[in-house]
A and B are shown apart, each in its own frame.
Chain A
């Protein structure tokens, strides 16, 4: 895995050389270093016993998501763009977890290689490193299925397109590459420089949210913004669904119909509210409120975090709605964060089930999704994740407040980090940045991002004593 990352860093050499901005040697050094460590580990442990139980896969996933950001800090530190380790770690974690929270108050002065590195971590991370592992290292003895559930926490096990894991991963990767290429092309056609188009596509298709401009999407033309919005919309849709959509297997779509309609309905309702609120409460003209409403709401719902305008100054109910929407998130099996549409649906359906139970105490009232009963252990899994999510948010807010950040900012930052949205509330919101946070707060936020990305359970289980007992 480190080798892959090293290769990625090395590929940042291309812009560095191309633009000749003087970052060549540090990038080269960090790339080679990462690559070599990876190689070393691979050689050293080649003969290691192949672990196949659940513990190993949980441990592997979490270690990976902790180690990769560590090495991801190297380009920032070696080029001197960030001076403290905590800053670099924050930025790197935010990239790899495709969160999009940044410590840079302005990004346009950064060397282009670093900009590409930031975008690339998101593109790479957004897809889920684990899926890449599965595609690249199919020979590893790990029980692939349990690894897969560790990443996606079992929300959507039914969504596999084909029976074998490896081909699933390859198809998913194919779609991802295809989408990326398509949107790079579309943005380029709309008159953008290829360099910008690549960066912007990378960060938006992965629902990341880093930007190469100080004012995020505001710089783009309206048409380009709508294209980006479409990219974000796709980033919130389940890959299996996209695969079936693009290969015209529309008869298979019905097993995801409720999730996607829920996702789209939530989007439409929220966007309408935002549009009207912007028009009538903030005095935007119709064109702007339409654009901001459409682009910004999808950015929030898919937890991307690209900004169509400086949301920091927006009306409080809108910013609050954004917090709630990002908690809801896109569809399971997409690159977006948050709780995911499917889980929210199951939670709502479960309430309905309880009411039905009361009305017809002797009938069997299963929780249904897409007209099929949902297995009881999936329901409990969803509930446990929800509860743990809430508890982690509480603890996160408590820790941030202890580190000296006020209530609004803590709520904003914790939810932005755990869902992978990015911009928080107050100073860290909108075009602002997290530079004002203390070192402790940055570390907590970085940890929360990993936690949110791995959907809490996988990380927390490492803290259970039984995990380490034989």
Chain B
């Protein structure tokens, strides 16, 4: 009885507490989501302008969906989220991340549904999530038949998702001082990169600036190479965000030699940490050359190109094809862009394995690319190396250092857990894909390519000639959608919402 006396009566508890659930700052989450939706609706002005300019007939669908998204956003922002406290608790960042990441792509399906460009709801969800997570897996087998406005919209979703939606939240919501760092980390989980500016919001703004500038430069470069405006816009958005949506059936082969070179260069750049690019372009070159991740990136890049070229040549392709395709393939895979051009006549198994490893390794931490990220791989390999030495000298003490800074053991443990989860997701996803009728290697490659946000890869044999996912059954499309999201949110945020501890009252 004594115990009961100290408890508040049931009726005084709020609904969450009545059911033993954790209390969330739902108002803030609603407000954030609402604001994001409003911005998203405004961003649809660009595809709309293209649509009006090219008279492709998609303008009504775009306007209509923009209005719905705007209304929804305003409703969430001003009614549900009225009077929100701008404070996020430690553990709420996962929730914000996951809800925003579900709400935005879900609303992003509207233009696809209204224009009738896609056959079913599943397809629209797949395409929309694939866009926002910068995966670039597509269910459109003939992109040139889509209205130009929709093409630009599709590419633009990748560009928005490129740096991450949370980064967008942090950038637009200056008021959110308490918890912004949490959000930043929920998406860039544990990359531990040095920030560009002591103030988070400022450094995020700088990241967006460099990102936009690179995109603009690429658009101009493509236009100079003689690419039509719509294609240039779409491909620039796809490349810089490491997405991978294309505008024509032949993939990037429509670009011509010069355009292809430009695209490859920008793919290469977009696999590099944005912070490093910022330093590079603001002429702060002092310590760039000593950055281990950048050096590893370059080393892997050139060594794999070399190996692939040689192995393509040995199976009977001429040197030019071998070099061209190798450079393209490695740049596209490592940055997790996932573009394609026609394969060389003779395929080499060695290239398959290298490509697969690169798919999983992915790009640099802090870039727009996906995958496990080079930085994590470097830390793990260093740790394993130390471990062997420690097996011989049990009493020695070692510390893993990256760029001269020691890495904490807790953090290494977290990376190990991450890699385990990553592989578990690939293995589990591949199981469902085999249920849908894929062969084992195809299933594994497909799962890996989607969780790494790569998208189409020449390794996957059961896709259409255009490397599109049109023919897969619905179950497979849903599973791939989950994998894309899991990869983009770096797993933990997605796992967290399935963990009972995150629902229970703490």
- Residues of A at the B interface (CB closer than 8 Å) are 54-55, 58, 316-317, 319-321, 323-324, 347, 350-361, 376, 379-380, 383-384, 386-388, 390, 394, 397-398, 401-402, 404, 407-408, 411-412, 425, 457, 460-461, 464, 466-467
Contact = CB atoms under 8 A, between A and B. Distances in A.
Main secondary structure of the interface of B (DSSP, over half): helix
B208 interface: no
A464 B349 contact: no
Given A350-B416, A383-B420, A355 B387 contact: no
Given A320-B434, A398-B350, A358 B90 contact: yes
A389 to B, nearest CB: 10
A351 B353 contact: no
B2 interface: no
Given A358-B91, A461-B392, A402 B349 contact: yes
Given A323-B440, A359-B502, A394-B357, A350 B352 contact: no
Contacts of B421: 351
Pick the most buried of A58, A347, A407, A412: most chain B CB atoms within 10 A of its CB: A407
Given A387-B384, A398-B353, A358 B441 contact: no
Contacts of A320: 430-431, 434, 440, 443
B378 interface: no
Contacts of B419: 387, 390
B94 interface: yes
Given A351-B417, A387-B419, A398-B353, A408 B441 contact: yes
A408 B462 CA distance: 14
Closest 8 CB pairs of A and B: A383-B416, A407-B441, A398-B353, A401-B349, A317-B434, A320-B434, A359-B91, A464-B388
A384 B384 contact: yes
B81 to A, nearest CB: 24
Interface stretch (B171-179, B275-283, B292-300, B492-500): B492-500
Contact of A354 (B417, B443, B506): B417
A359 B501 contact: yes
Nearest to A395: B353
B198 interface: no
Contact of A386 (B413, B420, B440): B420
A347 B420 CA distance: 7
Contact of B427 (A324, A347, A350, A407): A324
Q: Give the contact-size bracket for chain B.
A: 35 or more
B384 A355 contact: no
B435 interface: yes
A361 B384 contact: no
A366 B91 CA distance: 19
Contacts of B383: 384
Contacts of A383: 413, 416, 420
Contact of A461 (B349, B388, B417): B388
A355 B502 contact: yes
A430 B388 CA distance: 37
A386 B439 CA distance: 25
13 contacts: A351-B495, A376-B409, A383-B413, A386-B416, A387-B416, A387-B419, A388-B384, A398-B350, A401-B350, A401-B353, A407-B352, A411-B441, A466-B388
B212 interface: no
Pick the most buried of A324, A383, A461: most chain B CB atoms within 10 A of its CB: A383
Contacts of A54: 391-392, 394
Contact of A351 (B392, B420, B434, B441): B420
Given A386-B420, A398-B353, A461-B388, A408 B495 contact: no
A457 B501 CA distance: 36
B389 interface: yes
Contact of B90 (A347, A361, A404): A361
B423 interface: yes
Contact of A457 (B353, B388, B496): B388
A466 B420 CA distance: 28
Contacts of B349: 401-402, 404, 407
Contacts of A360: 506
B472 interface: no
Interface string B428-444: 00110011011111011
A79 B103 CA distance: 71
Contacts of A361: 90
A324 B495 contact: no
Contacts of B399: none
Nearest to A146: B394
A324 B432 CA distance: 13
Nearest to B387: A384
Pick the most buried of A321, A397, A412, A425: most chain B CB atoms within 10 A of its CB: A397
Given A320-B434, A408-B439, A425-B440, A355 B496 contact: yes
B55 interface: no
B388 A350 contact: no
Interface in B440-474: 440-441, 443-444
Contacts of B388: 457, 460-461, 464, 466
A321 B431 contact: yes
A467 B434 contact: no
Nearest to A55: B392
A457 B388 CA distance: 8
Nearest to B410: A357
Interface string B251-266: 0000000000000000
Contacts of A376: 409
Contacts of B431: 317, 320-321, 324
Contacts of A464: 388-389, 392
Pick the most buried of B389, B416, B421, B502: most chain A CB atoms within 10 A of its CB: B416
Nearest to B94: A358
